[in-house]
């Protein structure tokens, strides 16, 4: 494992910045940064932005200076690089444009939802997750644009999200409050009562991801929500690390127990994915990823 730093060449705020990364472990990177007095706010998804004045000191502390190209290659090879589609800060405009196309003239509601998805305690349930679910809906839906109620349910399904202490969570509470929020806001927006009720119903389904065999809309939403489980190995590890980060306040032992219960519940879903497209795309890798994480006792952000 090594800490790498490139040359300062990225201008911002009246100075130039370098990137500080690990080629193997975010935990290692955070330990190095903390020991060097680099503030947490300097961390940006997969690297720290450090000003030019700190460069020589960080090299003296053990960071290895490399070219920007070599740093990027090492970050990609490590699996720690966060691609643009997973960078929440970069997704505000694309998501705002999607919202306007979905529900024209309701910019205020769209802003409220985007603000909720950017709450500071979120690490996985962020705008990047919303963007991924919307993308997955388009991938697995046969026959053009998914039904509006399904897309609206995706926007609202984690609009209320907390990361409670281990053992204090009330199962389904966030989904219930998200559904109630959807019903209230969409009724105020003038949507037909039947569509409002359908959105609320779909949001509540994401508490257990067990739609009926005849529930095509529910199957579509649940499959899109769980698409993350079928990522490649590096993408799944980023997901697992983000989940751990959301529960950073929970001690390791308690987190392992709670996470194991979640993994067992997911592995016990039969089927895990309901649509033919989702099964074809994600089922095999999802089963492997879930079993690997369970067998490893959870990946604690490594």
- For 249-290, write each residue's pLDDT tens digit: 899 999 999 999 999 999 999 999 999 999 999 999 999 999
Closest CA to 269 of 226, 220, 215, 217: 226
Q: What torsion, rounded to 10 degrees, do the Cα atoms 233, 163, 157, 291 define?
A: 30
Cα gap 247→250, rounded to integer Å: 5
pTM for the structure as a whole: 0.86
Whether the link from the prior residue into 82 is cis, omega within 30° of 0, is no
Give CA separation, 212 vs 151, 194, 226, 244, in Å. 19, 19, 16, 31
Six token digits for residue 158? 């984690």
- Segments of the chain assigned E as strands: 3-5, 10-12, 15-22, 43-44, 47-51, 64-65
The confidence score (pLDDT) of residue 300 equals: 44
Q: Which sequence spans correspond to the domains of the chain?
A: 3-81, 88-296
Q: Which fold has domain 88-296?
A: Hypothetical protein af1432 (1.10.3210)
**Cβ pair 4, 23 in contact under 8 A:** yes
The confidence score (pLDDT) of residue 271 equals: 96
State which residues of the chain have pLDDT below 50. 166-168, 299-302
């Amino acid at each position: 494992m090594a800490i790498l730093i490139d040359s300062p060449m990225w201008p911002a705020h009246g100075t130039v910045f370098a990137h500080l990364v690990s080629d193997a472990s975010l935990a290692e990177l955070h330990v190095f940064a903390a020991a060097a007095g680099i503030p947490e706010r300097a961390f940006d998804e997969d690297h720290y932005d450090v000003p030019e004045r700190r460069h020589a000191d960080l090299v003296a502390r053990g960071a290895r200076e490399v070219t920007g190209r070599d740093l990027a290659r090492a970050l990609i090879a490590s699996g720690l690089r966060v691609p643009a589609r997973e960078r929440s800060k970069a997704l505000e405009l694309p998501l705002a444009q999607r919202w306007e196309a979905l529900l024209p003239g309701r910019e205020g509601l769209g802003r409220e939802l985007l603000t909720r998805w950017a709450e500071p305690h979120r690490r996985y349930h962020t705008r990047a997750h919303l963007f991924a679910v919307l993308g997955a809906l388009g991938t697995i839906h046969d026959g053009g644009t998914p039904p509006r109620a399904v897309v609206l349910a995706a926007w609202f399904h984690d609009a209320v999200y907390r990361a409670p202490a281990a053992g204090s969570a009330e199962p389904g509470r966030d989904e219930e409050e998200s559904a109630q929020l959807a019903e209230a806001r969409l009724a105020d927006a003038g949507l037909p009562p039947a569509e409002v009720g359908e959105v609320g119903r779909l949001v509540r389904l994401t508490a257990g991801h067990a739609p009926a065999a005849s529930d095509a809309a529910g199957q579509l939403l649940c499959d899109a929500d769980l698409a993350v489980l079928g990522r490649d190995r590096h993408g799944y590890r980023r997901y697992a690390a983000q989940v751990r980060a959301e529960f950073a306040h929970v001690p390791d032992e308690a987190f392992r127990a709670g996470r194991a219960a979640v993994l067992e519940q997911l592995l016990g879903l039969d089927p895990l994915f309901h649509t033919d497209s989702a099964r074809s795309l994600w089922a095999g890798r999802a089963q492997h990823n879930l079993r690997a994480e369970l067998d490893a006792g959870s990946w604690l952000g490594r």
